[in-house]
A and B are shown apart, each in its own frame.
Chain A
């Protein structure tokens, strides 16, 4: 009988098996070869849509460096980080791979990445400063910026016309948004003035900055959530839901995501990144455009900037070849290839025109112009340790279970405790 119990409980062992499983083999395929001979570098990416562009760069690079072949390995985003972390733990991560802001602190802090600042010929001046800052830790830069994204105020022209409200422009402040949202809101027709979810990159990190606060202090040692100015930024975003009632509730925006609500014409305004352009471009019957984010009460303009970078694995067997490849990826030639494919905004200054021209019906230049007001996406050495509890608590505040004062204090405390451990 005990045996039967064991077998039946075997199902329970699945959970155990998940923690037990370890290294997955991926990565440097050319072990044993010397640096002078032909070398194959593995290059880990997570977006299959960008593979053709990456392949084009790899071919161009191989033509110039016949000794180095690039092997592109695509892992879907859902598994990318889990796989990468186990691979890095067992010393088999790709030689060069994609990195983003929230993770770079962890990987660089744990000495999984080579510092690029020490490399011969390293030049980060062609890239926006805020973007370089995302990848810089203790004065050393660990990633070559690849692309970037900023946030803009998307609006539905049809709904604005119907309500007789002037389109948003660069002069708009918070008050303009509040006034417009109230005029546009029409519960009888199922139309909301604005969607203001507790999303951080698209909404709260920006409003906190516009109010003069921030999510994290400049030295990345203290939370900014207990700063009264940050609180004002959170309050502004929350007021749309609870005070003015011109935004769908947290429940409604969970059942139907705000970008879907905007795409289907149920919401007149929504602050969102350039990365949702394909969704809005493809939405039937949506006549939308985009404006810069509004300025805060003291006239401060701000958007967070995030994006991807290329990094070198610290345990690569071919550090020189890997650096050649990363240097090429940061070159004007490589970024021009990326610009032509039009999927993302290349990080290289002055190459965004092609991307802007890819959808002339929108004022996409807004996303580029906002670089002047861009602030690095808030990260620290171990971002995940505080970003998850932060999001959990924000969910509670937006869901009406926790008042903003208490919740923000709670986030600040959890965050400070996590930051103290770094």
Chain B
């Protein structure tokens, strides 16, 4: 990009953009001066005590409601439960039962498909965030509220309304399709369509949250970069790809990590939009749904714990992988 490098401000932007190849910090960065050896004075101790006191409420809650259940579940995953308590150590039996479950491949594939659909919603969120940033004046707040409303709506109510919309015989969607001569399918009771139908609802309900993150990210991009690049003759498209996208990448990264975690945990929509006697249910189950069935319908708590442990490990691995890969494409301006 020689055309841009002649101007100092643009060069700065370009530098941020081209740092992608390097993994280390800037070559000329000064080394951090060595700290003096810590002395455990009373003042230090008091400072630490205050620090721990400050984080204690959150920390205790986290240990009690997150970490301890994780430890317990990991233990339970090696046990078999009687209907009314009493656990028996069974080793890896639950894990082998889960791995040989004939429903697993289909459920795993559905889960991946659903996560991919949610990820596909990210570009849509970016577009909407960019458009929302163009709106000024009294309507800006109105639009923001409208788009954020799905995020704070009750999932059960959301599922119910979408069920009506998707109704094969009397739904609004199929009515609109019939106006243009298309005979719409049974979106939420035909196994060929359910994953996509649910995916659309997933995108719709996460759009508002993602947009807020992206809108904040967009606002953080200094205007001078756009001014400088347009002086250099960059068009809007070029600006989007050379300025906006690289500088928005931390937000994109954050949203995609959350989307993968959320997508792979897909459960509530399957339960609430499909219901229990649905011919499409067998084709639409996700891993988290299998967990629910074992934990709360057939009361096989040990097996359910094993599923939860496997799901957590997969999420952990995928998130760690994303953090590794981010070095290749995320630019912290």
Interface of A toward B, CB cutoff 8 Å: 1-2, 4-5, 8-21, 82, 85, 88-90, 106, 110, 112, 197-199, 250-252, 254-256, 382, 384-385, 388, 391-392, 394-396, 398-401
A388:B297 contact, CB within 8 angstroms? yes
Residues of B within 8 Å of A90, CB to CB, are: 85
Residues of A within 8 Å of B279, CB to CB, are: 250-251, 254, 395-396, 398-401
B150 is an interface residue with CB less than 8 A from chain A: no
Residues of B within 8 Å of A12, CB to CB, are: 261, 265, 311-312, 315-316
A15:B76 contact, CB within 8 angstroms? no
New contact pairs (5) apart from A5-B319, A17-B69, A88-B84, CB-CB < 8 Å: A15-B312, A16-B308, A19-B301, A251-B279, A399-B191
B258:A19 contact, CB within 8 angstroms? no
Selected interface stretch from B28-36, B165-173, B206-214: B165-173
User: Restricting to B227-251, which residues have a CB under 8 Å from any CB of A?
Assistant: none
Residues of A within 8 Å of B189, CB to CB, are: 250-252, 254-255
Q: How far is the CA of A254 from the CA of B191 in the complex (A)?
A: 12
A256:B312 contact, CB within 8 angstroms? no
B171:A9 contact, CB within 8 angstroms? no
Bitwise, B60-82 to A at CB < 8 A (1) or not (0) is: 00100111111011101000001
- A382 → B minimal CB distance (Å): 8
B282:A392 contact, CB within 8 angstroms? yes
Say what secondary structure dominates the interface of chain B. helix
A5-B320 in contact given A17-B66, A19-B304, A199-B277 (Cβ < 8 Å): yes
A9-B84 in contact given A20-B73, A250-B279, A254-B278 (Cβ < 8 Å): no
B276:A9 contact, CB within 8 angstroms? no
Residues of A within 8 Å of B70, CB to CB, are: 13, 16-17, 20
Bitwise, B154-183 to A at CB < 8 A (1) or not (0) is: 000000000100111111000000000000
A85:B308 contact, CB within 8 angstroms? no
B323:A1 contact, CB within 8 angstroms? yes
Q: Determine the residue in chain B with the shortest Cβ distance to A14.
A: B265
B107 is an interface residue with CB less than 8 A from chain A: no
Residue of A13, A19, A197, A396 with most chain B CB atoms under a 10 A cut-off: A19
User: Restricting to B255-313, which residues have a CB under 8 Å from any CB of A?
Assistant: 257-258, 261-262, 265, 274-282, 288, 291, 293, 295-299, 301, 304-305, 308-309, 311-312
A256-B309 in contact given A5-B323, A12-B261 (Cβ < 8 Å): no
B188:A255 contact, CB within 8 angstroms? yes
Q: How far is the CA of A391 from the CA of B282 in the complex (A)?
A: 11
A to B CB contacts below 8 Å, 12 in the list? A8-B258, A8-B319, A12-B316, A16-B308, A19-B304, A20-B69, A199-B277, A255-B168, A255-B171, A255-B186, A256-B170, A401-B191
B190 is an interface residue with CB less than 8 A from chain A: yes
Residues of A within 8 Å of B261, CB to CB, are: 8-9, 11-12
A5-B316 in contact given A254-B188, A255-B186 (Cβ < 8 Å): yes
- Of all A-B residue pairs in the complex, the 5 with the closest CB atoms, nearest first, are A399-B279, A20-B69, A89-B85, A254-B189, A251-B186
- B135 → A minimal CB distance (Å): 31
Residues of A within 8 Å of B169, CB to CB, are: 252, 255-256
- A263 → B minimal CB distance (Å): 13
- A235 → B minimal CB distance (Å): 18
B83:A391 contact, CB within 8 angstroms? no
Q: How far is the CA of A85 from the CA of B298 in the complex (A)?
A: 12
A18:B323 contact, CB within 8 angstroms? no
Partner among A112, A384, A391 whose Cβ is within 8 Å of the Cβ of B277: A391
A89:B84 contact, CB within 8 angstroms? yes
B312:A112 contact, CB within 8 angstroms? no
- A315 → B minimal CB distance (Å): 10
- A50 → B minimal CB distance (Å): 24
Q: Determine the residue in chain B with the shortest Cβ distance to A418.
A: B298
B308:A254 contact, CB within 8 angstroms? no
Partner among B62, B167, B293 whose Cβ is within 8 Å of the Cβ of A255: B167
Residues of A within 8 Å of B298, CB to CB, are: 384-385, 388
Q: Determine the residue in chain B with the shortest Cβ distance to A250.
A: B279
Q: How far is the CA of A250 from the CA of B189 in the complex (A)?
A: 8
Q: Determine the residue in chain A with the shortest Cβ distance to B312.
A: A12
Q: How far is the CA of A256 from the CA of B311 in the complex (A)?
A: 34
Q: Determine the residue in chain A with the shortest Cβ distance to B77.
A: A19
- B317 → A minimal CB distance (Å): 10
B295:A18 contact, CB within 8 angstroms? yes
Residue of B305, B309, B319 with most chain A CB atoms under a 10 A cut-off: B319
A16:B73 contact, CB within 8 angstroms? yes
B170:A19 contact, CB within 8 angstroms? no
Residues of B within 8 Å of A384, CB to CB, are: 297-299
A11-B281 in contact given A20-B70, A85-B84, A254-B275 (Cβ < 8 Å): no
Residues of B within 8 Å of A8, CB to CB, are: 257-258, 261, 319
Q: How far is the CA of A310 from the CA of B52 in the complex (A)?
A: 52
B281:A16 contact, CB within 8 angstroms? no
Residues of A within 8 Å of B62, CB to CB, are: 10
Residues of B within 8 Å of A16, CB to CB, are: 69-70, 73-74, 305, 308-309, 312
B69:A395 contact, CB within 8 angstroms? no
- B51 → A minimal CB distance (Å): 16
Q: How far is the CA of A112 from the CA of B274 in the complex (A)?
A: 34
Q: Determine the residue in chain A with the shortest Cβ distance to B292.
A: A18
- B114 → A minimal CB distance (Å): 15
- B130 → A minimal CB distance (Å): 26
- A99 → B minimal CB distance (Å): 14
Partner among A197, A251, A388, A392 whose Cβ is within 8 Å of the Cβ of B190: A251
A399-B262 in contact given A16-B73, A16-B308, A19-B308 (Cβ < 8 Å): no
- B321 → A minimal CB distance (Å): 10
Residues of A within 8 Å of B68, CB to CB, are: 20
B291:A15 contact, CB within 8 angstroms? yes
Q: How far is the CA of A198 from the CA of B257 in the complex (A)?
A: 41
Q: How far is the CA of A198 from the CA of B297 in the complex (A)?
A: 19
Q: Determine the residue in chain B with the shortest Cβ distance to A21.
A: B69
Q: How far is the CA of A153 from the CA of B178 in the complex (A)?
A: 35
- B315 → A minimal CB distance (Å): 4
B319:A9 contact, CB within 8 angstroms? yes
A254:B305 contact, CB within 8 angstroms? no
Residues of A within 8 Å of B304, CB to CB, are: 19
Q: How far is the CA of A10 from the CA of B166 in the complex (A)?
A: 33
B305:A19 contact, CB within 8 angstroms? yes
Q: Determine the residue in chain A with the shortest Cβ distance to B258.
A: A8
- B194 → A minimal CB distance (Å): 11
Residues of B within 8 Å of A10, CB to CB, are: 62, 66
Q: How far is the CA of A19 from the CA of B291 in the complex (A)?
A: 9
A9:B85 contact, CB within 8 angstroms? no
Q: How far is the CA of A394 from the CA of B304 in the complex (A)?
A: 24
A110-B301 in contact given A12-B312, A398-B279 (Cβ < 8 Å): no
Residues of A within 8 Å of B275, CB to CB, are: 254
Residues of A within 8 Å of B73, CB to CB, are: 16-17, 19-20
